[in-house]
Amino acid sequence: MKSTVPESVTPPRPLSSLTPGTRGVVVEIRIPAEHRSRLLEMGVLVGTPIELVRFAPLGDPVEIKVRGYHLSLRKHEADLVLLRVNS
Amino acid sequence: MAIASKAASPLRVVLTGNPNCGKTTLFNSLTGLRARVGNYAGVTVERKEGTILGLTSQRPVRLLDLPGTYSLSPQSPDEQIARDVLFVQLPEVPEPDLVLVVVDASNLQRNLYYATQVIELGHPTWVVLNMVDVARENGLELNVPSLSAALGIPVFPIVASTGEGLPALRTALDHETHRAGPLPEPRSFTELTESFGKEAESIESLLETELPERKRLAMAEAVLLLSDDRVLNTHAGKYPETIAFAIAAARNRLEAAGVDWRSAAIEARYARAAAIQMAVTTETSPPGETLSDRLDRVLTHRVWGLLIFVLIMGLMFQSLFTFAELPKSWLEAGVNALSSWVESSLPPGDFTSLLSSGIIQGVGSVITFLPQICFLFLFLSVLEDTGYMARAAFLMDRLMSRVGLHGKSFIPMLSSFACAIPGLMATRTIDSPKDRLVTMLIAPLMSCSARLPVYTVLIAACIPTRRLFGIFGLPGLTLLGMYLLGIAGALGMAWVFKRTLLRGEPSPMILELPPYKRPSLLVLFRHMWERSRLFLRRAGTVILAINILLWFLVSYPKISGSPAAETDRPTDQMRQSFAGRAGRFIEPVLIPLGFDWKIGIGIIASFAAREVFVSTLSVVYNVENEKAGSPSVANLANTLKAEKWPDGRPVYTPLTGITLMVFYVFALQCVSTVVVMRRESNSWKWPLFQLAYMTGLAWVLAFLTYQLGRACGWN
Ligand SMILES: Nc1nc2c(ncn2[C@@H]2O[C@H](COP(=O)(O)OP(=O)(O)O)[C@@H](O)[C@H]2O)c(=O)[nH]1
Ligand SMILES: [Mg+2]
């Protein structure tokens, strides 16, 4: 799965910088290790496909779709989740 | 004989699963209408237990509904309870004979992540595959036999909300009551990397020797202990030191080898969960936008979403404030009628007074909260069961995070406008203990409905009915000002607490937005009734006792009879009483605020409940009451206007009125809040701290108001 994504074409982008409707695959999670566990347990792992669904009306938090369900996280965390966007 | 005693011991079944997977709905349809609701010792986590109905077996089957959990590495008190029950680490819950893991068929991967963790614990376990109707609607067909084969345990497809599939589950439970089969073989759903697996095995053998009674789940426990950096802190004392050392050493070795011990097991388990999900799912129609997605496009829309949110919150506030006011006023009228009937039909004396003013009014002050509490719980249940609660937090998180709070703090704060007691209870949905505590500490600063009578009387007595810019009446503006002051105070104090006393890592808001569901009416009303009853039983008794104490303080010691001054008796009695003496005793503290000792009595007596201030003042100033009951606001206000200091200045100037209202905005003048805070925080420390900080704040701000007002020549 991972090897099919061309490495050189698109540089990884923070989840929070995407526009609603964009899909991508997580390539790195820069949240400090101690705070990462809940996000991992909710299924957001390196290699997981994610769709950015929308931003909340006041701009924060963001809503994503992962493993078939909807999850919201603050921009602060979404800044630290890097995705390779499918073209 | 042996058979009879075996029949008497119940089969203990435990219900567990992710939040929102339908556990409570299943619990209700299996146990019917009789369940025992309580709390786990030492925490306010709800404990629901009941007997399964409709079985033919003589042996009773007891069902325990655990709080919803995403994993066995707990992140909140709720999740900790679920983990501890499954690990048989909670003395009050014996080892389960059977575990039912509820799995949401429409969200299989993440639910299997948890289900496989539970299966590995080695208890006899079945999977209850719920929401198959939702999965069908989403175009997913699940192959139940192959899921059962992949997990190695029985799987029962059901629709908990309609009862579909429940007969098969009941039949299987019936069989289980007279089964003495062997325990299941230990299973593992995580293919661990070699280095991580080796470390886990060495911890496993250490656990087997140190904790032989839990030998069977040693491997599952070893993997969890190794990858969870919090559990050894939260469960200090439950694991021997040698284990903590071994785990620290193992983690160091793994880190040196470049293995991330936090994520290794999670990744392996998700890989397995995803493989199982793909193998058992057939897509019958291409995935498209679900009804829930379409609803969300409106309900979380930039404009419509916020508008609808404001409407829903307005309706909730309105129902707490106005609709509940009607039954509340009936109850109050009933209590007053009963107490005056007692007074008129029994011979006057201490006993009659105790009965009518102490006990009946005390019981009254508890049950008059009931309509508001019922409405609140009904609303909260609707918001939670439909899935809207998560959206409310999603919409409000930005605002609340400005002062360091969580989106989930919004609803408790809003509820506190009606009454701080339901507000405190509504904080139970907040996971982070620190955020919950901060919300509880500031919730009573929101102006509750009991402050309204106080504001009304003081505004009528002190604030001139002038207009500002021709449209805004000064009285209305004052009232609005007091509400805004309370909100500002609450947000300000939240900001302060989050930076000082309860500083901590900002808890990330990782919140599931579950699909919208149609809630079941029966479940809603049951919830409302169970939670309200718990409130009556637990808080009611203490509130009653304290009311009786306050009755004693205003009634004793008795003045010796001087029949000449019959009309002045209540006023004299008040002055003579312990409360009156206390009022005069605290007068030196009140003088800098511009209050006299009579206001002091009002403040002391209204500690039972703020609205008592009004009735106390009318006794202190001996206002002619209308026979029917409550003193008329206009009469009291006129009396107050005429009240003079010994040197002839009026007592109730606009400045005094504002100062007194500022005092009431911030002071924690409510026994019931203190008692409920004690229950919800499980210690006397926090209610006493809250009492101290709010009273201190009230005094300081009242002092500043009065002194600044005087300095500006306003009087
Ligand atoms: N369509 C459908 N809805 C369900 C089913 N089971 C539960 N629900 C609804 O899902 C919501 C959450 O259920 P609840 O029992 O409170 O979940 P819990 O958080 O696991 O206790 C409620 O509104 C239920 O009415 C089901 O099988 N099908
Ligand atoms: Mg539930």
Residue B395: predicted pLDDT:
92
Residue B167: predicted pLDDT:
95
Tokens 């389960």, residue located: B96
8 A C-beta contact, residue A43 and residue A65: no
Interchain pair A39, B508: CB under 8 A: yes
Interchain pair B300, A59: CB under 8 A: no
pLDDT level of residue B377 (50, 70, 90 thresholds) = confident
pLDDT level of residue B317 (50, 70, 90 thresholds) = low
CA of B65 to the centre of ligand 2 (A): 8
pLDDT level of residue B9 (50, 70, 90 thresholds) = confident
8 A C-beta contact, residue A45 and residue B270: yes
Give chain B's length: 715
Tell me the mean pLDDT in the region B6-24: 87
Helix B370-386 to helix B325-345 angle (10° resolution) is: 160
Does B699 score more than 80 pLDDT? yes
Which residues, in sequence order, are CB contacts of B470 under 8 Å at separation 6+?
A: none
- Express each pLDDT in A4-56 by its tens digit: 545 556 789 999 999 999 999 999 999 888 788 889 999 999 999 999 999 99
Chain A residue nearest residue B298, CA to CA: A57
What span, in angstroms and rounded, lies between the C-alpha atoms of B568 and B623? Answer: 10
Pairing of β B11-17 and β B98-104: parallel
Interchain pair A42, B509: CB under 8 A: no
Which residues, in sequence order, are CB contacts of B185 under 8 Å at separation 6+?
A: none
8 A C-beta contact, residue B321 and residue B416: no
Name the phi and psi angles at B127, rounded to 5: -100, 130
Chain B residue nearest residue A77, CA to CA: B508
Tokens 């010691």, residue located: B557
Task: Give the number of whichever ligand sits closest to the CA of residue B37.
Answer: 2
CA of B82 to the centre of ligand 2 (A): 12
What span, in angstroms and rounded, lies between the C-alpha atoms of B389 and B386? Answer: 8
In this prediction the pTM is 0.83
Could you tell me if B18 lies within 8 Å of chain A, comparing CB atoms?
no
- Based on the number of CB atoms within 10 Å of its own CB, is B73 exposed (0-12), middle (13-18) or buried (19 or more)? buried
Tokens 């200045």, residue located: B649
Q: Which helix (H) or strand (E) holds B103?
A: strand B98-104
Does B625 score more than 70 pLDDT? no
Chain B residue nearest residue A59, CA to CA: B398
Residue B5: predicted pLDDT:
46
Name the phi and psi angles at B101, rounded to 5: -95, 120
Does B343 score more than 60 pLDDT? yes
Does B3 score more than 50 pLDDT? no
Residue B418: predicted pLDDT:
72
Cα end-to-end span (Å), chain B: 88
User: 3-class SS at A64?
Assistant: strand
CA B411 to chain CA centroid, Å, is 11
Residue B125: predicted pLDDT:
94
A69 DSSP β-pair partners? A66
The residue of B116, B190, B398, B400 whose CB has the most chain A CBs within 10 angstroms, and thus the best one to mutate to test that interface, is B398
Interchain pair B263, A40: CB under 8 A: yes
What is the position in ligand 1's atom list of the atom closest to the CA of B519?
Answer: 23
Which residues, in sequence order, are CB contacts of B318 under 8 Å at separation 6+?
A: none
Tell me the mean pLDDT in the region B644-668: 90
User: 3-class SS at A11?
Assistant: coil
Question: Contacts of residue A61 in chain B, CB cutoff 8 Å?
Answer: 394, 397-398, 407, 509, 511
Tokens 């009804």, residue located: B291
pLDDT level of residue B1 (50, 70, 90 thresholds) = very low
Q: How many CA atoms lie within 13 A of B45 on its CB side?
A: 22
Helix B433-442 to helix B474-499 angle (10° resolution) is: 150
CA B194 to chain CA centroid, Å, is 45
Tell me the mean pLDDT in the region B488-495: 93
Q: Which domains does chain A have, with CATH numbers?
A: 2-85 (2.30.30.90)
Backbone conformation region of residue B102, classed left if phi is above 0, alpha if psi is from -120 to 50, else beta: beta
8 A C-beta contact, residue B589 and residue B698: no
Pairing of β B125-130 and β B155-157: parallel
DSSP-assigned letters across all residues of B187-219: -------HHHHHHHHHHHHHHHHH-GGGGGGHH
* B625-631: long-range contacts, CB 8 A cutoff, minimum separation 24: B629/B333, B629/B336, B629/B340, B630/B336
What is the position in ligand 1's atom list of the atom closest to the CA of B518?
Answer: 23
Backbone conformation region of residue B511, classed left if phi is above 0, alpha if psi is from -120 to 50, else beta: beta
Tokens 């409940």, residue located: B609
Q: Which domains does chain B have, with CATH numbers?
A: 3-176 (3.40.50.300)
Tell me the mean pLDDT in the region B222-248: 85
Task: Give the number of whichever ligand sits closest to the CA of residue B162.
Answer: 1
Rg (CA), chain B: 30
Which residues, in sequence order, are CB contacts of A76 under 8 Å at separation 6+?
A: B506, B508
CA of B114 to the centre of ligand 1 (A): 18
Query: How far off is chain A from B316, nearest CA to CA, in Å?
Result: 21
Q: Is the peptide bond before B557 cis (omega within 30 degrees of 0)?
A: yes
Q: Which residues line ligand 1 (CB under 6 A)?
A: B 17, 19-25, 68, 130-131, 133-134, 159-161, 385, 517, 519-520
What span, in angstroms and rounded, lies between the C-alpha atoms of A17 and A15? Answer: 5
For B638, which DSSP code? H
- Express each pLDDT in B536-595 by its tens digit: 776 667 667 777 777 788 777 876 655 444 445 666 777 788 888 888 888 899 989 988
Residue B539: predicted pLDDT:
63
CA of B257 to the centre of ligand 2 (A): 42
Convert B330-339 to b/e letters by CB count within 10 Å (16 or more is b).
ebbeebbebb
3-state secondary structure B249-306: HHHHHHHHCCCCCCCHHHHHHHHHHHHHHHHHEEECCCCCCCHHHHHHHHHCCCCHHH
